[in-house]
């Protein structure tokens, strides 16, 4: 395939960025999207040009670092996958592809396509730890009876990889789907109930102080989330928050 790429280039958060045109040939439909960018970068390096900076780590849909906005959609045109799981067979010969960073004021651009998502880390830190008896009489987790639905729902919430697609897809740059998932994964389990009130209050306060917007229930976050995190988690977080506030 021959492709026209329009890639966001930006030196750092203080400078203005712009879309730059690149032409690339001989792209196999079996390549992943990130491999296509690797090919482009090899070419740029060979020509003594600076390579396009983008985030990636596991390249198998686990770490959540490969966050790109592709043709106006977080993680590209395919549903329920991350950018690293996207394949070039989803595009056609001669296509023009727009590649931009996730945009939100709480995610400032570090360089090119890499944004600073440490706000998510600070929200999780604000949530703190769960109480676990480590005195030598630690109870085997499997010995604690847990309702099957609660275990499954908690596990579903725990599949959030912190990629930030929910924020990037939301017109308000709201982080409520992410925070809802992180609150829910603990709130549903007996081990997480001990500090549940303090946890939700601290996480929501931190989310607000990081400058994320409010939720207006448009559902773009759920539609674009690569892990299918449900809006139910936002409703659960709101219930937990109201309960804890009283």
User: Does 86 sit near ligand SF4 (CB under 6 A)?
Assistant: no
Q: Measured from the CB atom, is 97 or 160 closer to ligand SF4?
A: 160
Q: Which does 162 bind (CB under 5 to 8 A by kind): ligand FES, ligand SF4, none?
A: ligand SF4
Residue 96 CB, nearest distance to ligand FES (Å)?
A: 23
Burial class (CB in 10 A: 0-12, 13-18, 19+), 24: middle
**Alpha helices by DSSP H, the chain:** 33-46, 118-127, 148-158, 165-169, 176-187, 190-193, 196-209, 220-224, 232-245
Cα–Cα distance, 242 to 158 (Å, whole number): 22
Q: Measured from the CB atom, is 157 or 163 closer to ligand FES?
A: 163
- CA nearest 97: which of 52, 56, 43, 65? 52
Q: Measured from the CB atom, is 227 or 236 closer to ligand FES?
A: 227
Q: Which does 58 bind (CB under 5 to 8 A by kind): ligand FES, ligand SF4, none?
A: ligand FES
Q: Measured from the CB atom, is 116 or 150 closer to ligand FES?
A: 116
Burial 46-81 (b: 16+ CB within 10 A, else e): eeeeeebbbbbeebebebbbbbbbbeebbbbebeeb
Q: Which residue has the tokens 């991350």?
A: 82
Q: Measured from the CB atom, is 65 or 233 closer to ligand FES?
A: 65
> Cα Rg for the chain, rounded, in angstroms?
20
Binding to ligand SF4, residues 135-174 (CB under 6 A): 160-166
| Listed ranges 15-23, 51-59, 125-133, 185-193: which one lies at the site for ligand FES (CB under 6 A) | 51-59
Q: Pattern of binders to ligand FES over 61-80, x per CB under 6 A? A: xxxxxx--------------
Considering only 104, 225, 234, 237, the residue that binds ligand SF4 (CB under 6 A) is 225
Interface with ligand FES (CB under 6 A): 56-59, 61-66, 82-84
């Amino acid at each position: 395939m021959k492709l026209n790429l329009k890639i966001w280039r930006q030196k750092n958060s203080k400078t203005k960025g712009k879309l730059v045109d690149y032409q690339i040939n001989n792209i196999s439909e079996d390549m992943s999207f990130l491999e296509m960018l690797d090919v482009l970068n090899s070419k740029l390096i060979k020509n003594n040009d600076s390579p396009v900076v983008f985030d990636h780590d596991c390249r198998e849909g686990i770490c959540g670092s490969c966050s790109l906005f592709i043709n106006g959609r977080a993680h590209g045109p395919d549903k329920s996958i991350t950018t690293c799981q996207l394949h070039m067979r989803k595009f056609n010969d001669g296509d023009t592809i727009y590649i931009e960073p996730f945009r939100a004021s709480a995610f400032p651009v570090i360089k090119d396509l890499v944004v600073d998502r440490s706000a998510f880390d600070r929200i999780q830190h604000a949530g703190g730890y769960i109480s676990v008896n480590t005195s030598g009489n630690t109870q085997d987790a499997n010995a604690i009876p847990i309702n099957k639905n609660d275990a499954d729902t908690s596990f579903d919430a725990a599949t959030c990889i912190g990629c930030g697609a929910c924020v990037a897809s939301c017109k308000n740059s709201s982080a409520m789907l992410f925070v809802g998932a992180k609150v829910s994964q603990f709130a549903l389990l007996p081990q997480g109930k001990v500090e549940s009130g303090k946890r939700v209050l601290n996480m929501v306060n931190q989310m607000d102080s990081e400058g994320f917007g409010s939720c207006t229930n448009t559902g773009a976050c759920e539609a674009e989330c690569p892990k299918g995190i449900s809006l139910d988690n936002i409703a659960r977080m709101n219930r937990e928050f109201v309960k804890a506030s009283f």
